[in-house]
């Protein structure tokens, strides 16, 4: 990557949002921040205890293992088995990461040459396109069907021929769309046919409601031949600040990533891996109350929006609502109207690419009463909800 490459990447929209937030706070305004997707809940007690024990353990003070601490690997393998019925080799098919965001970037950087194509959903978590640009590769955006599924067959054959990687994210941030195992099977077959590495970003694997259980792409028979999947403790366990995640799947891809990472750093800090070990070991007891709280918040905000005349649908997964910008506003105009008026911070849809224009994202990262207030403020400024074509 050259300095020129870095300079050519447009500013991160979240930076701009942050600057506005700081300006308002400096002026003494109190804000209801539902912009960023950073969980407000506490780190689970059992995780804190594990970190405290680790901090005092002399045996763990050296450099961590390059791929994964055996205890972390064992906890992850058990979790994948009990939760998804998926079996991975703890040594060859698994690697601990300091968060899935940098893991995704490193996967892209270690699997592309300048000029290669990376297939990115048209509404996307920003690192997918930005890491592609940092690699000197070219993001080609895959159209989304109205239900949020990727229309991979609509990508130009010349682009598919140059593609090395296909990224998918279900349940999706920000659209909240999810897909079935059959849909995954179609994507696996597409990746296999075109010799692509399929990267599944499963950041919201556990945040689902109303009996819906999120599937893993690795449940598709043969997926280990083409796919890797990223899981993170950030959302499901309220551990975004701990920075612990993992990638599992196709062993050649894991080896390639390991080769890249071992040249620029060591493994993930042992403290974070022990925190992750405790989280995955106790997932069955930690996650239900966290999900119950998000469901309560989702229902409160949906009810408040509906009461104000916005006929929104309740998402069945993630911690977001993905809503059309009301008529008469553009993306930043709506963000500013909410921040300057009632002091509500939301994320403009263009943070997730051009195809996100005309939408905004609300995160369920405030208690239900504040979310209700934020929703009421929105509908009182704009009594008629917008309508957008994109999912």
> Would you tell me which residues interact with ligand PLP (CB under 6 A)?
37, 99-101, 125, 169, 173, 201, 203, 232, 234, 240, 245
Q: How far apart are CA 275 and CA 293, in angstroms?
A: 22
Nearer to ligand PLP, 84 or 128 (CB): 128
Under a CB-based contact definition with an 8 Å cutoff, are residues 271 and 54 in contact? yes
Minimum gap (Å) between residue 168 Cβ and ligand PLP: 10
| Residue 387 burial (CB count, 10 A) | 10
**Cβ neighbours of residue 28 closer than 8 Å, sequence gap 6 or more:** none
Minimum gap (Å) between residue 385 Cβ and ligand PLP: 24
Nearer to ligand PLP, 203 or 312 (CB): 203
Minimum gap (Å) between residue 234 Cβ and ligand PLP: 3
Nearer to ligand PLP, 101 or 390 (CB): 101
**Tally of helices (H runs) and strands (E runs) in the chain:** 14, 12
Under a CB-based contact definition with an 8 Å cutoff, are residues 249 and 88 in contact? yes
Minimum gap (Å) between residue 198 Cβ and ligand PLP: 15
Helix, strand, coil share of the chain (percent; to 5): 45, 15, 40
**Cβ neighbours of residue 183 closer than 8 Å, sequence gap 6 or more:** 149
**Cβ neighbours of residue 331 closer than 8 Å, sequence gap 6 or more:** 325, 348, 349, 350, 357, 358, 360
Nearer to ligand PLP, 166 or 382 (CB): 166
Minimum gap (Å) between residue 169 Cβ and ligand PLP: 5
Under a CB-based contact definition with an 8 Å cutoff, are residues 206 and 287 in contact? yes
Nearer to ligand PLP, 233 or 382 (CB): 233
Nearer to ligand PLP, 125 or 141 (CB): 125
Largest separation between any pair of C-alpha atoms in the chain: 62
Minimum gap (Å) between residue 184 Cβ and ligand PLP: 16
Residue 129 has which token pair? 């396109």
Residue 301 has which token pair? 């905000």
Minimum gap (Å) between residue 203 Cβ and ligand PLP: 4
Question: Coil, helix or strand for 164?
Answer: strand
Nearer to ligand PLP, 88 or 123 (CB): 123
DSSP code, position 43: P
Minimum gap (Å) between residue 115 Cβ and ligand PLP: 26
Under a CB-based contact definition with an 8 Å cutoff, are residues 163 and 117 in contact? yes
Minimum gap (Å) between residue 106 Cβ and ligand PLP: 12
Nearer to ligand PLP, 127 or 223 (CB): 127
Nearer to ligand PLP, 38 or 186 (CB): 38
Residue 283: its H or E element: helix 283-307
Nearer to ligand PLP, 355 or 385 (CB): 355
Query: Is 303 buried (19+), middle (13-18) or exposed (0-12) by CB count in 10 A?
Result: middle
Residue 263: its H or E element: helix 251-264
Minimum gap (Å) between residue 243 Cβ and ligand PLP: 7
245-249 and 347-348: which strand pairing? unpaired
Residue 321 vs residues 130, 346, 359: alpha-carbon distances, Å: 24, 10, 10
């Amino acid at each position: 990557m050259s300095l020129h490459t870095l300079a050519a990447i447009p500013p991160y929209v979240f930076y701009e949002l942050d600057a506005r937030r700081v300006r308002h706070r400096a002026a003494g305004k109190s804000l209801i921040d539902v912009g960023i997707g950073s969980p407000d809940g506490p780190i689970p007690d059992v995780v804190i205890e594990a970190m405290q024990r680790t901090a005092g353990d002399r045996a763990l003070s050296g450099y961590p293992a390059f791929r994964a601490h055996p205890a972390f690997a064992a906890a992850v393998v058990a979790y994948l088995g009990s939760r998804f019925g998926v079996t991975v080799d703890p040594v060859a098919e698994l690697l601990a990461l300091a968060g899935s965001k940098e893991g995704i970037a490193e996967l892209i950087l270690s699997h592309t040459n300048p000029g290669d194509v990376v297939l990115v959903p048209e509404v996307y978590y920003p690192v997918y396109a930005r890491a592609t640009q940092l690699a000197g590769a070219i993001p080609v955006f895959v159209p989304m069907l109205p239900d949020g599924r990727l229309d991979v067959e609509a990508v130009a054959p010349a682009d598919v021929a140059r593609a090395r990687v296909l990224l998918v994210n279900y349940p999706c941030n920000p659209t909240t769309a999810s897909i079935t195992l059959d849909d995954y099977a179609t994507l696996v077959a597409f990746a296999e046919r075109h010799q692509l590495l399929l990267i599944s970003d499963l950041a919201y694997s556990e945040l689902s409601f109303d009996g819906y259980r999120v599937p893993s792409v690795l449940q598709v028979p043969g997926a280990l031949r083409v796919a890797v999947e990223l899981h993170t403790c950030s959302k499901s366990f309220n551990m975004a600040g701990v920075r612990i995640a993992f990638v599992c799947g196709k062993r050649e891809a894991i080896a390639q990533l390991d080769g890249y990472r071992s040249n620029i750093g060591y493994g993930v800090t042992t403290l974070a891996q022990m925190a992750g070990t405790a989280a995955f070991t106790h997932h069955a007891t930690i996650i239900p109350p966290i999900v119950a709280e998000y469901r309560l918040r989702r229902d409160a905000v949906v009810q408040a929006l509906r009461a104000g005349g916005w006929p929104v649908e309740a998402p069945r997964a993630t911690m977001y609502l993905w809503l059309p910008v009301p008529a008469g506003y553009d993306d930043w105009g709506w963000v500013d109207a909410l921040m300057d008026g009632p002091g509500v911070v939301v994320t403009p849809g263009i943070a997730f690419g051009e195809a996100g224009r005309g939408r905004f994202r609300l995160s369920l990262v405030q208690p239900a009463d504040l979310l209700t207030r934020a929703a009421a403020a929105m509908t009182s400024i704009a009594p008629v909800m917008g309508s957008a074509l994109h999912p």
